[in-house]
Structure formats: C-alpha cells, structure tokens
C-alpha cells in the first residue's frame, strides 16, 4: 500500500492524464511467464497472453481496471499471465478506450467489438469466458448484459475482481469501510464516475452500473465468481450484486477475502492471498469453459 500511496500522492488536479497512466503502468510493471502477442481484434488493440501449456482453443477475455481512466495491458500483464496459467487457457487482454478522451459507451463498444471478433475467429460462446477487475469487472458485466439484450449467446462464466458495479456509489461499505480502505473514498469514486460518464451520463444505467439491471437480465447471466477484499469501500458493489443475481435465480458466488484491499490480486509477489485468489479464479473458469451455456447453439 505504501507503493500505491506514493503514486496517488504525486497526483494533483492538474496532473496530465498521460502522466497518471505512465505512473500506474510503472507501479505494476511485470511481464509474467507467458507469451505476449499484440494484435488488433475488431479494431481494438489487444494482446494474447498465453502461459506455457495453456490451451489455445479456449479464451478468457480480460478487461483491466483503472477507473476507466488509467490501466493498460502493461499494468495487468502479470495478472493476466497468472490467470492464463491457473485456468490453462489463453487470455485476450483488451486495451479499450479510456476517459476523458473516450467516455461511456466507448469502452462497452470496444468490448462488444472484441467479442464479436472472437466469435468470427471460431470461438464458440462455451469456449469463452470473461474476467476483469474494478472498472473492468463492471465492463465485463456490462458486456454480458448487452449481449443478453440483443439475444446473443453468453460466454460460459465470468471472474470479477473488486468489480465496480455501482457508479452512483450507494453501498453501505462506503461508510463501514471508510477507515479501513487506504485509498478509495466515496468522493474519489464519484469523481471517477463523472469522468467516465461525462456531464450527461446516467450512473444508474445498467450497462455501466450492472447493479441496476432488471431481474430477467440478472437471471440470464452465466455463473459468476466475485472476489473482493474486506477492507474495500467498494465491498458492497460485489456483495449487493451477488445478492441480486442469486435472488433473481442466477448463480453468483462472492468471496470476501479478510484483510485484503482493492484488487489485491495485482500483488502476487507480496501477497500469498493474491496467488491463492488467482489460482481459485482460474480453476473456476476452467471448470466452466467448454460447457454449453443457456442460449448457446453454436458449435
């Protein structure tokens, strides 16, 4: 957390966004033991991250976090490499467009373009899973809801790390975890939401805040595993979303990791919990990849 605070502490209101992105990339810069193959998928910059021995006929599409403003394939390369190893499948990292240059729905448009490209490459829905952290976790859920809304087959499962599901920041954990969370407080979260949405954006739009999706859409989601730290102010984003999915008849399991902070999985060298969480998340995805999902009639 000292490393993270050092980065945040250098940022001021006039810090250029390019500087913030460079700082964030350096904070998490590690390659991991996996092949890294840049490509353009559906017009979107992406990269295949393939751990040794991972299957290439299965794909985990990964959306990085960073409040829709920072984060990249570089900052999340090691996390994706470890997830590829744990799941035994290739990861397709998505370098979606970021705010303030590109606000919602630009990230969702990029996510859907990549998923359409993947189907065009011969990947059936059952051979595809989604994953993401923080804003990227919310983006993964938004993509699932958008696919459901247009009647497309859904990926087999999704792994969500400290997912940001409520850009209106209404969760009780903003109060109960305020003193425990070393970084994220409600004013900061709301500022990031305004930056991502623009002045006319609706923070309760289900495609950007999946917590507000209707019961029919929630029930249609594939099996979900949500991992979140007990010290996070966004704890409620995962807990409340999982409750809503299960109440609607879907399958969502929420794991609350004691003592952990926001996206603790990005610290695998320092935290054994990070390694354990990624291993469990990989096993979860592997257990669902290759299985037919509701509405999947593809070969």
pLDDT digits (tens, 9 = 90+) for 46-101: 999 999 999 999 999 999 999 999 999 999 999 999 999 999 999 999 999 999 99
User: Global pTM?
Assistant: 0.95
Q: For the chain, how far is it from start to end, CA to CA, in angstroms?
A: 46
* The pLDDT value given to residue 5: 75
pLDDT at residue 241 tops 60: yes
pLDDT at residue 251 tops 90: yes
How confident is the prediction for the chain on average, in pLDDT? 93
pLDDT band of 295, cuts 50, 70, 90: very low
Q: Which tops the pLDDT comparison, 34 or 214?
A: 214
DSSP per-residue letters across 186-238: HHHHHHHHHHHH-TT--TT-TTT-GGG--HHHHHHSPPEEEEEETT-TTHHHH
* The pLDDT value given to residue 292: 53
Question: Would residue 232 show up in a list of annotated catalytic residues for this protein?
Answer: yes
The single residue of 72, 75, 84, 134 carrying the catalytic annotation is 134
Closest CA to 245 of 285, 210, 193: 210
Q: Where are the domains of the chain?
A: 2-280
* The pLDDT value given to residue 227: 98
The single residue of 64, 76, 262, 288 carrying the catalytic annotation is 262
pLDDT at residue 15 tops 90: no
The single residue of 148, 162, 232, 288 carrying the catalytic annotation is 232
What mean pLDDT do residues 139-153 have?
A: 98
pLDDT at residue 107 tops 50: yes
pLDDT band of 11, cuts 50, 70, 90: confident
H/E run at residue 26: helix 17-27
pLDDT digits (tens, 9 = 90+) for 163-215: 999 999 999 999 999 999 988 899 999 999 999 999 899 999 999 999 999 99
pLDDT band of 27, cuts 50, 70, 90: confident
Q: Which residue has the tokens 């929420």?
A: 254
What mean pLDDT do residues 107-129 have?
A: 98
pLDDT at residue 228 tops 60: yes
Question: At the topology level of CATH, where does 2-280 sit?
Answer: Rossmann fold (3.40.50)
E runs forming strands in 42-152: 44-50, 55-63, 89-94, 128-133
Structure tokens of 175?
Answer: 């109060």
Closest CA to 208 of 237, 228, 185, 175: 237
């Amino acid at each position: 957390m000292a490393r993270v605070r050092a980065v945040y502490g250098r940022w001021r209101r006039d810090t250029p966004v390019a500087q913030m992105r460079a700082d964030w990339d350096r904070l998490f810069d590690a390659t991991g033991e996996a092949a890294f193959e840049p490509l353009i998928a559906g017009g979107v910059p992406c990269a295949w991250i393939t751990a040794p021995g991972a299957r290439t006929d299965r794909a985990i599409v990964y959306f990085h976090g960073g409040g829709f403003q920072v984060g990249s394939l570089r900052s999340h390369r090691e996390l994706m490499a470890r997830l590829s190893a744990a799941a035994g499948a290739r990861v397709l990292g998505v370098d979606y467009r970021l705010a303030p240059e590109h606000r919602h729905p630009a990230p969702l448009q990029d996510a859907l373009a990549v998923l359409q490209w993947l189907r065009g490459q011969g990947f059936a829905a059952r051979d595809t899973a989604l994953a993401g952290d923080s804003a990227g976790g919310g983006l993964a859920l938004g993509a699932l809801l958008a696919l459901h809304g247009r009647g497309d087959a859904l990926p087999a499962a999704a792994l969500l790390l400290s997912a940001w599901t409520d850009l209106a920041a209404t969760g009780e954990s903003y109060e109960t975890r305020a003193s425990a969370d070393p970084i994220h407080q409600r004013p900061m979260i709301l500022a990031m939401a305004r930056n991502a949405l623009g002045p006319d954006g609706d923070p309760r739009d289900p495609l950007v805040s999946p917590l507000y999706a209707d019961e029919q859409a929630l029930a249609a989601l594939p099996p979900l595993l949500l991992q979140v730290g007990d010290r996070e102010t966004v704890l409620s984003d995962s807990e409340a979303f999982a409750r809503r999915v299960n109440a609607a008849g879907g399958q969502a399991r929420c794991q609350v990791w004691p003592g952990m902070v926001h996206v603790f999985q990005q610290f695998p060298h320092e935290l054994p919990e990070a390694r354990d969480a990624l291993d469990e998340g990989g096993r979860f995805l592997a257990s669902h990849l290759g299985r037919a999902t509701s509405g999947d009639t593809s070969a």
